[in-house]
Amino acid sequence: MKPARRTFLGLAAGAAALPAVLRLARAQNYPTRPVRIVASAPPGGNFDTLARLLAPRLSERLGQPFIVDNRPGGGTNIGTETVVRAPADGYTLLVVGPPAAINATLYDRLSFNFLEDIAPIAAVFRVPHAMVVHPSVPAKTVPEFIAYSKSNSGKVNMASAGTGTTPHMAGELFKAMAGVNLVHVPLYVADCLANRQIC
């Protein structure tokens, strides 16, 4: 089984098991003290926002404070390592997403193995991705865009939120599958559209 599929199946199984885990946790009087939720992003970042939405609901449901602890940096590796090094007692949780799986392939020497050192307990969000182009680009469909990119090899820029991000990796996969030569430019989407790039 491929690692990406194995990861997905593990996360799906964790999500399916969450109701049983919560019942078991309640039966064992968990939690008996505050729980830390590590957000591997700065305040206002995607994982921080999600953690701050989850924390009050978990506190209300389980009767203990759930405290958000921001550990940004290293492409989410700092936050992940914080959780890996914490006792495996359920009192340090991690809000995690695709960057953790991406990092396992980008970094040669991580001090942890994400697939072995982190146990998924719930899938709590999904983020759709879409390809957009500036209106001045003559392509209106994906096949038209592929043809346009092939006839303008190395002249079409592909923007993302940064190197190693999910949009960047999706773009690299698109390049490989379509056989096109796009130039990666780490930008924000607003900059992308203003500068007539593909995002």
Q: Please compute the mean of the pLDDT values over residues 9-27 and round it to a whole number.
A: 54
Domain assignment of residue 109, given as a range: 3-117
Residue 172 and residue 113 share a domain: no
Mean pLDDT of 108-115: 88
Nearest to 105 by CA among 145, 61, 75, 150: 75
When divided into structural domains, the chain yields a total of 2
In this prediction the pTM is 0.65
In a domain, 124, yes or no: no
Does one domain contain both 102 and 62?
A: yes
Q: Which parts of 63-194 fold into alpha helices (H)? A: 77-85, 98-106, 114-117, 142-151, 166-178, 189-194
62 and 159 both lie in a single domain: no
Is residue 176 domain-resident? yes
- Of 2-6, 104-108, 130-134, 151-155, the one with minimum mean pLDDT is 2-6
- In a domain, residue 132? The reply is no
In a domain, 133, yes or no: no
- What was the pLDDT predicted at 190? 46
- pLDDT above 80 for 18: no
Q: Which residue has the tokens 């991705």?
A: 129
With a pLDDT cut of 70, the percent of the chain lying above it is 79
Task: Report the pLDDT averaged over residues 24-39.
Answer: 82
pLDDT computed for residue 10 by the predictor = 55
pLDDT in tens, 90-107: 999 999 888 888 888 888
27 & 113 share domain: yes
Phi, psi of 135 (to 5 degrees): -55, -25
